[in-house]
Every structure is written in structure tokens, then in C-alpha cells.
């Protein structure tokens, strides 16, 4: 796979231009472009620049309203609700972020819900932003449509992959510990990669349309994805569904129109909880991190992605050459 190096600003300009060319307003293009390029720069390519193609198609077909105007409702000092109005969720998040951060810093905790939008892509983007730019711990849950994962013991899809992200600031400059993972055994993006490359998927990832275990990636896409860890993963998927759909007023995954076909918005939701750490938190965390990281082979999630992002901001990052050519074409 041939790769080329591009600067962060060059990639952002191309992403914004591609989104605008597809029908997004400049504000939507800028907010969403930042999330896409950040994911790509972190090495999270499944939800990076490749998503521009899906966004182009969704804007063209009406699954995303490129001119949607988010409606922000101030419920209490600690609770903010946003109707994304069938657009990208990123602009609504950016507009509501100052109120969310101020509420958490003043009251200790604050909640932001976003509903009636298109799936948000990289969930860790929101959590990292709160941790690194505002010094807050953050829990973020999201759902989408259509449903691809069964409930515990079932075969019929009722959940999407239902990702959950969590981040805490470490106290170091621009550093955060970030967990970002789906409730499923594998993400849809990963299964699609296997299908496109005609590779088998590992056992335990999915069921075929008849409800039988399969290693055929195409059959998995037509069937249902399995939760990770059996009933434990299914319980996390349920928790995410209740937070991201039930508490936000978004569509349940099982009722949501598809994000990749048709002309209707999935109407998915995002739930964000921001928490202000206590005064001695950073010192305690750093002591704990030092002790844990002293053991050879230990992996602490999010730190390497943060390093990759900071490197990309100053020195650029590698992009698949064929994908970059497509991005330039879209732009």
C-alpha cells in the first residue's frame, strides 16, 4: 500500500472542501472535518478520511442535512440538550461545548445530549476534547442505525455497535488517557475492511443471516455482529443504547433508518457526561500511571494516539495514496 505524507492543515483543508462540495455549510464542514482529520492523524483510519465518501453519499441522498441548524435547549445549568436537526452532530457539540465545560467546572458535573443526527464517527474525539482542552473527565456513548447486534442470547439485531468512550486528563500538557471502543466484538468498519479484502473474520465476531456463527465477512454484514465478551458486552451495549437513545430522545437503533442507504436520517444520539476532577486527582493519577506503566508490555489506551496526533500537527502524517487522491477528487 503506497502512502504519502500530508500536513494536518492540508488534510483539513481538503476534508472541508470535500464536505462543502458535497453540500455541507462551511460551519458543518469545518466542525466535521476537524473530527475526521483528527481520527486519521491518530491512526484511527476506519473512521477517518475514508468517511468522506460515506458523508458525500449521505449528503447527496438526504440522510444528512448539510444546512441543518442545531437547536440548543438549556434545561438547567448542568444539562444541555441539542436537536441536531438531521445534520452532523459535530457542529452542535462545538456550539454547546462552552456551556457543557462551564457547567462541569462550576457544578462538578454536567450533561450534554445530542439527538436526531447522523452517526458521529470517532467517539474518542469528543472525550479527548473535553479532557485535553478543558481538564475534564468525560464519558461519551453513541448509537446509530441500523441495528446490527443482537441482545444477550438473541439473534435478531437490536443494537448498533454502540461505542463507548472515556477520557481523563493526566495533568501533563495536552495528554489524556482515552478509551474508545465498540460494544461489539469488532467494529463495522473492521468487518467491512475484511469483506473488501475478501478475508475471513475470526470466529466469535458475527452470525450469518440464518443466525449461525460465521467467518465470512460478507455474511456477517448481512447477518448480525456479536457483542464482545458474551453477556457482559451485550450489557454494555444495552447501557449505551439507554444512554444514547433512551435518555436523549434519539431513535432506538432497531428503529433507525440505515446510515448507508435510503433518504432518511438515522436520527441517532450521543450522550456526554463531563466531570471536574478533584484538586488532588492529577497527582494521584500520575503516581498510579507511573506504577502501572513500569511493568513491561502494559498498554495504556489513548496515549499513543495522542502522541501521533501531536506529531501530525507539527510534522504531518501518512495517508494511503489512493485514498488521498480520492479526497482531492472530492474536494
Q: Whole-number mean pLDDT of the chain? A: 94
**Domain range summary for the chain, segments of one domain joined by +:** 3-184+227-330
Beta strands in 149-238 (DSSP E): 149-150, 157-159, 164-169, 176-181, 206-207, 213-214, 224-225
CA distance 74 to 86: 20
Task: Return the C-alpha cell found at 260.
Answer: 448507508
Task: Return the C-alpha cell found at 238.
Answer: 444495552
CA distance 84 to 91: 8
**What do you get for the CA distance between the two ends of the chain, in Å?**
22
Tens of pLDDT along 114-130?
999 999 999 999 999 99
Confidence of residue 186 (pLDDT cuts 50, 70, 90): confident
Quick one: pLDDT at residue 128? 97
Tens of pLDDT along 63-99?
999 999 999 999 999 999 999 999 999 999 999 999 9
pTM: 0.94
Task: Return the C-alpha cell found at 58.
Answer: 449521505
pLDDT for 288 beyond 90: yes
On whether the CB atoms of residues 201 and 186 are closer than 8 A, the answer is yes
Q: Hey, what CATH class is 3-184+227-330 in?
A: alpha beta
Strands 79-83 and 109-117: parallel
Amino acid at each position: 500500500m503506497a502512502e504519502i505524507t500530508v500536513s494536518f492543515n492540508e488534510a483539513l483543508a481538503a476534508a472541508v472542501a470535500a464536505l462543502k462540495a458535497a453540500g455541507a455549510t462551511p460551519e458543518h464542514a469545518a466542525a466535521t472535518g476537524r473530527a475526521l482529520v483528527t481520527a486519521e492523524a491518530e491512526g484511527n483510519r476506519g473512521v477517518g478520511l475514508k468517511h468522506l465518501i460515506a458523508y458525500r453519499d449521505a449528503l447527496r441522498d438526504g440522510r444528512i442535512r448539510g444546512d441543518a441548524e442545531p437547536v440548543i435547549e438549556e434545561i438547567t445549568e448542568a444539562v444541555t440538550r441539542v436537536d441536531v436537526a438531521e445534520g452532523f452532530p459535530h457542529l452542535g457539540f462545538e456550539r454547546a461545548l462552552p456551556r457543557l465545560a462551564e457547567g462541569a467546572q462550576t457544578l462538578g458535573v454536567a450533561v450534554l445530549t445530542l439527538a436526531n443526527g447522523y452517526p458521529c464517527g470517532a467517539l474518542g474525539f469528543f472525550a479527548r476534547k473535553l479532557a485535553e482542552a478543558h481538564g475534564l473527565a468525560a464519558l461519551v456513548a453513541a448509537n446509530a442505525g441500523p441495528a446490527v447486534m443482537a441482545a444477550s442470547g438473541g439473534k435478531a439485531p437490536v443494537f448498533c455497535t454502540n461505542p463507548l468512550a472515556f477520557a481523563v486528563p493526566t495533568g501533563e500538557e495536552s495528554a489524556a488517557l482515552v478509551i474508545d471502543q465498540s460494544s461489539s466484538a469488532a467494529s463495522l468498519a473492521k468487518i467491512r475492511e475484511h469483506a473488501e479484502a475478501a478475508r475471513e473474520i475470526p470466529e466469535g465476531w458475527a452470525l450469518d443471516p440464518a443466525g449461525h456463527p460465521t467467518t465470512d465477512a460478507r455474511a456477517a454484514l448481512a447477518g448480525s455482529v456479536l457483542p464482545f465478551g458474551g453477556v457482559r458486552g451485550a450489557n454494555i451495549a444495552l447501557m449505551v443504547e439507554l444512554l444514547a437513545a433512551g435518555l436523549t430522545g434519539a431513535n432506538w437503533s432497531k428503529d433507525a433508518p440505515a446510515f448507508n442507504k435510503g433518504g432518511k436520517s438515522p436520527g441517532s444520539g450521543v450522550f456526554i457526561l463531563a466531570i471536574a476532577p478533584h484538586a488532588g486527582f492529577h497527582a494521584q493519577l500520575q503516581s498510579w500511571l507511573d506504577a502501572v506503566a513500569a511493568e513491561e508490555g502494559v498498554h495504556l489506551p489513548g496515549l499513543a494516539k495522542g502522541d501521533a496526533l501531536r506529531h501530525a500537527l507539527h510534522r504531518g502524517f501518512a495517508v494511503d495514496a489512493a485514498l488521498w487522491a480520492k479526497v482531492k477528487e472530492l474536494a
